[in-house]
């Protein structure tokens, strides 16, 4: 990052250093939340506290070696990100420095004090204008397009606060330093724009969540859905599969762009993402997933202050593509590591601690992140509808969901996908507890399910939840009297629930035909399980023994149907349902 032209500079000196926080004396007049260069090597920092002519800064790089009396240069602009073509397929750190370009020799660690621009100013892009000289432009208007990747058309928009009548507009090859549009007042705009990371981008109108965020995972699509533009949290203890859930959704979800924020996670997990994504193909387009992915990395050994900024960097980039009219999914892994960064910085500021040492404004900060999700009508012309959906992993210590980060997130998220360690240890993936988890979006999505999937999809889902609840009750009884002493209808409940758990709720991302399930396949799978239960109940009333039902071949076919490909499953699913009805009526 570099200072913007015309910015007011205020000079000071370092008066104290404590980990990532630095105090600068002699900077009267500096503004809160503006950036600064700290020390002789120019480490990037942000003003987070003011007292007289002294400012406290959080530094986004390692402060080792700083000395008292070294220079601090403050200026009046907040922490910003550069937005424009070239973001797709790129990998940034928490303050949007391109990691690939920051590699110095064979050193695997980031050198300090680097000021490399996030986007290549010299790269030539083929710009196709959609406006002409004399047209009047307003904020958000699309002035032209660029093919940023094989599947993403980058729509160059008028930045918020700009506009006017076009005096000149370019066409063909342009770079980041060129003027794309010149207005009659001699002001201009280029391919790139800057935006402060802590300020939400303006929109024309916010829309209600009426369409589901399609993940291809049955437990999330059918049982616990999240709407496009909604928020879901994935809390779970160590080893329950939070990162696997986020990576599976990033790989297989039906979304236009994925922004993956690795916030404070282990380096080997981020390495998996970096090595796997280029090899994987989008199930819908067949193009490499890297062609629609942006990765923001801040691993556990990187500076703690940059971790705090990383999720805001990610959500700002997400809003930018949302404004173009794209569906964007942001994966934050993990929000607990972000909150720990807040706690560390707060403690060094000697602020009054809240619960478990977190700052008292933890809920406000978490809310400022979640509230930036949503489905919107974008500013400008032509009319565009975009959405940012947030999936946030949380790592509560010891798997305790009563801890502050989980509880604060529950106030804002509309879906809770709670991971159960018992399910994880039994190799049940995704290890989502259907007893603890919930979705507040389901009521608003029922019309979509009935119209786009099947008229009885909602009733089948409600039946499934009732069977799982009944299974829990029957299991409590069986622990006292034994399974063999149960009545036959109760034994049938256990058998049906087992099929539902193993064949429907359990899903393997390592099996090609099971990694992604279309809604049509999900519906027919659920309908087949329901048909088995209903016809078996009727057969029991007609005198059939429970052993005949439990040992029939059709139960085995139900258990194997998840491994059938989605293509062509309609015929197989309907045949299976017909075979079930035929078996129990003979």
pLDDT bracket for residue 7 (50, 70, 90): low
pLDDT bracket for residue 123 (50, 70, 90): very high
Looking at residue 586, what is its pLDDT? 62
The Cα 421–Cα 427 span in angstroms is 10
9-78 against 120-191: fold identical: no
Looking at residue 5, what is its pLDDT? 47
Query: For 172, left (φ over 0), alpha (ψ -120 to 50), or beta?
Result: left
pTM equals 0.93
- What's the distance, CA 555 to chain centroid? 37
Positive or negative, the Cα torsion across 503, 509, 513, 518? positive
Q: Is the pLDDT of residue 484 over 90?
A: no
The Cα 154–Cα 125 span in angstroms is 11
Nearest-10 crossing angle of helices 553-560, 488-499: 30
Q: Is the pLDDT of residue 272 over 80?
A: no
What average pLDDT does this structure show over 43-60?
Answer: 91
- Summarize pLDDT for 130-174 with one digit per residue, the tens: 999 999 999 999 999 999 988 899 999 999 999 999 999 999 999
**CATH classification code of 120-191:** 2.40.50.100
What average pLDDT does this structure show over 103-128?
Answer: 82
Looking at residue 553, what is its pLDDT? 86
Percent helix, strand, coil in the chain, to 5, is 35, 25, 40
Question: What does the angle CA 508 – CA 391 – CA 462 come to, to the nearest 5 degrees?
Answer: 65
**81 neighbors 97 (Cβ within 8 angstroms):** no
Lowest-confidence pick of 332-336, 413-417, 522-526: 332-336
Q: What is 454-585's CATH topology? A: 1.10.1140
Q: Is the pLDDT of residue 4 over 60?
A: no
The Cα 238–Cα 14 span in angstroms is 40
| CATH superfamily assigned to domain 205-436 | P-loop containing nucleotide triphosphate hydrolases (3.40.50.300)
pLDDT bracket for residue 552 (50, 70, 90): confident
H helices of 449-568, where?
457-481, 488-499, 512-515, 519-541, 546-550, 553-560
List C-alpha distances in Å: 84 to 51, 159, 261, 290, 324: 37, 11, 19, 17, 11
Q: Domain limits of the chain?
A: 9-78, 120-191, 205-436, 454-585
pLDDT bracket for residue 104 (50, 70, 90): low
Q: Is the pLDDT of residue 1 over 70?
A: no
Q: Closest Cα to residue 47, out of 349, 303, 316? A: 349
Looking at residue 332, what is its pLDDT? 92
**191 neighbors 350 (Cβ within 8 angstroms):** no
The Cα 232–Cα 393 span in angstroms is 9
Share of the chain above pLDDT 90, in %: 63
Backbone angles phi, psi at 492, to 5 degrees: -65, -35
Q: Is the pLDDT of residue 301 over 80?
A: no
E strands along 178-256, which residues?
181-183, 188-189, 193-196, 205-207, 231-235
If 0-12 CB within 10 Å is exposed, 13-18 middle and 19+ buried, where does residue 337 land? buried
Query: For 279, left (φ over 0), alpha (ψ -120 to 50), or beta?
Result: alpha
Q: Closest Cα to residue 528, out of 557, 566, 492? A: 557
Q: Is the pLDDT of residue 269 over 80?
A: no
- Summarize pLDDT for 170-222 with one digit per residue, the tens: 999 999 889 999 999 999 999 999 999 999 999 999 999 999 999 999 999 99
Q: Is the pLDDT of residue 234 over 50?
A: yes
Report DSSP state, residue 172. E
pLDDT bracket for residue 287 (50, 70, 90): confident
- What's the distance, CA 145 to chain centroid? 26
Mean pLDDT (the chain) is: 90
Positive or negative, the Cα torsion across 164, 170, 172, 177? negative
The Cα 334–Cα 174 span in angstroms is 38
Q: Is the pLDDT of residue 2 over 70?
A: no
Is domain 9-78 given the CATH code 2.40.30.20 in the classification? Answer: yes
**126 neighbors 172 (Cβ within 8 angstroms):** yes
The Cα 239–Cα 428 span in angstroms is 12
Positive or negative, the Cα torsion across 163, 383, 415, 565? negative
Rg (alpha carbons) of the chain, rounded to whole number: 27
């Amino acid at each position: 990052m570099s200072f913007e032209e015309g910015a007011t500079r205020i000079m000071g000196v370092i008066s104290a250093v404590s980990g990532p926080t630095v105090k600068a004396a002699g900077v009267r007049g500096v503004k809160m939340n503006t950036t600064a260069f700290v020390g002789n090597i120019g480490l990037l920092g942000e003003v987070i506290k003011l007292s007289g002519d002294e400012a406290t800064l959080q530094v986004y790089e390692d402060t080792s070696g700083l000395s008292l009396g070294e220079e601090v240069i403050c200026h009046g602009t907040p922490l910003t990100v550069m937005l424009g073509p070239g973001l797709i397929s790129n990998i940034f750190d928490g303050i949007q420095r391109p990691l690939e370009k920051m590699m110095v020799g064979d050193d695997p660690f980031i050198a300090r004090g680097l000021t490399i621009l996030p986007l290549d100013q010299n790269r030539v892009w083929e710009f196709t204008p959609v406006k002409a000289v004399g047209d009047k432009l307003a904020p958000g208007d699309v002035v032209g397009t660029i093919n940023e990747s094989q599947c993403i058309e980058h729509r160059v928009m008028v930045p918020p606060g700009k506009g006017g009548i076009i005096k000149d507009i370019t066409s063909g090859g342009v770079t980041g330093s060129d003027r794309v549009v010149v207005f009659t007042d001699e002001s201009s705009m280029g391919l790139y724009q800057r935006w402060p990371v802590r300020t939400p981008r303006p929109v024309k109108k916010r829309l209600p969540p009426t369409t589901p965020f399609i993940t291809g995972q049955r437990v999330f699509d059918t049982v616990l859905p999240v709407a496009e533009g909604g928020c879901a949290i994935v809390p779970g203890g160590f080893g329950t599969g939070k990162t696997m859930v986020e990576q599976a959704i990033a790989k297989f979800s039906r979304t236009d762009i994925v922004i993956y924020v690795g916030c404070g996670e282990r380096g080997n997990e981020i390495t998996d993402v970096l090595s796997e994504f280029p090899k994987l193909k989008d199930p819908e387009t067949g193009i490499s997933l890297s062609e629609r992915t942006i990765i923001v990395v801040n691993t556990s050994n990187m500076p703690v202050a940059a971790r705090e900024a990383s999720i805001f960097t990610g959500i700002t980039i997400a809003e930018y593509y949302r404004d173009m009219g794209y569906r964007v999914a942001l994966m934050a892994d993990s929000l607990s590591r972000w909150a720990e960064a807040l706690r560390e910085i707060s403690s060094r500021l000697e602020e009054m601690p809240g619960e478990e040492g977190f700052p008292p404004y933890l809920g406000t900060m978490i809310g400022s992140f979640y509230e930036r999700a949503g489905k919107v009508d974008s500013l400008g012309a032509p009319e565009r509808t975009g959405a940012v959906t947030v999936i946030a992993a949380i790592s509560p210590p010891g798997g305790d969901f009563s801890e502050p980060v989980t509880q604060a997130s529950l106030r804002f998220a509309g879906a809770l996908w709670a991971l159960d360690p018992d399910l994880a240890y039994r190799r049940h993936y995704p290890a989502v507890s259907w007893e603890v988890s919930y979705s507040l979006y389901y009521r608003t999505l029922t019309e979509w399910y009935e119209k786009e999937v099947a008229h009885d999809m909602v009733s089948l889902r409600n039946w499934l939840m009732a069977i799982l609840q009944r299974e829990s009750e029957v299991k409590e009884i069986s622990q006292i009297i034994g399974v063999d002493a149960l009545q036959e209808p109760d034994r049938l409940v256990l058998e049906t629930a087992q099929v539902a758990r193993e064949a429907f709720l359990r899903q393997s991302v390592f099996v090609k035909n099971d990694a992604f399930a279309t809604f049509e396949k999900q519906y027919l799978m659920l309908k087949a399980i329901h048909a088995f239960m209903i016809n078996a109940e009727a057969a029991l009333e007609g005198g059939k023994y429970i052993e005949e039902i439990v040992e029939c071949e059709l139960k085995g076919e139900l258990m194997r149907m998840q491994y059938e490909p989605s293509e062509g499953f309609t015929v197989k699913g309907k045949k299976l349902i017909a075979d079930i009805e035929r078996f129990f009526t003979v």
